[in-house]
Structure 1
Amino acid sequence: MVAGLVLSAAVFVGFQEYKGTLYANEQERVDHTAEHVGSELASQLDSLERTVSVAAVNPDVAAHGSSAQRRALEAFLERTEFAGVSVIAANGTMTNIVSDVSAERRAELIGSDFGDRTYFQRAVNGTTYVSEPVEAESGNHIITISAPIYRDGRVVGTLNAAFHLSEGEFFERFATTVEGDQRLTLYAQDRTPIYATGPAVEPAFVRNVSVEGTGWTVSVRQSSDSVSSTVQTVTVAQAGSIAAVLAGLFGFGWWIYRRSVTQIGRLLRGFRALEDEQYGAELRLDDTEEWRQVEDGFNRLSRTLERSRAERQRREAELRRERDRFEALFDGIPEPVVAVGLTDGDPVLRDANAAFETTFGYDVDAVVGEDLNDLLLPEDEQAAAEAEEIDARAAAGEQVTAQVRRRAADGVREFLFRSAPVEHDGDTTHQFGVYIDITDRNRYEARLREQRDNLDTLHQVVRHDIRNDLQLVTAYADLLAERLEAIAEECDSPETDSGADAIDEAQTYLRTVRDSADHAVELTKTARDMAKVMLTVERERQPVGLRETLESELESVDSEAPSAVVTVDGSIPTVRVLADEILGSVFRNLLTNAVRHNDKDVPEVTVSATADETRGTVRVRVADNGPGVPDDRKEEIFGKGEKGLESSGTGLGLYLVQTLVDSYGGDVWVEDRPPQRDAADRAAGGDVEGAVFVVELRLADEE
Structure 2
Amino acid sequence: MSTGESAPRATVAELEAMYALAIAAAEFHPDGVVTVDAEGVIDFVNSRAETVSGVPREELRGRRLAEALPFRDMQGRAWWDFADPWQTLNIVTGHRERMLVLPNGCTVLLTAKYMRHPDGSVLAVILSMRDAAGRVRAERAMADLLTTVAHELRSPIAGVTGFSGMLLQHWDRFDDTDRRTMLRTIKGDAERVSRLVSELLDVSRIDAHSLRIRPRPVDIEALFTAQVSRQIASGQEPDRFTVRVDRELPEVWADPDRLDQVITNLVENALLHGSGTVCLEAESALMPSGEPGIRICVCDEGEGIPEEERELVFSRLWRGGSTSGTGLGLFLVRGLIQAHGGVVRIGERRGGDGAMIEALLPANVTANPGSWAPSRPPPSPAVAEAAVRAAARPPSTSVAR
TM-score by length of 2: 0.39
TM-score by length of 1: 0.23
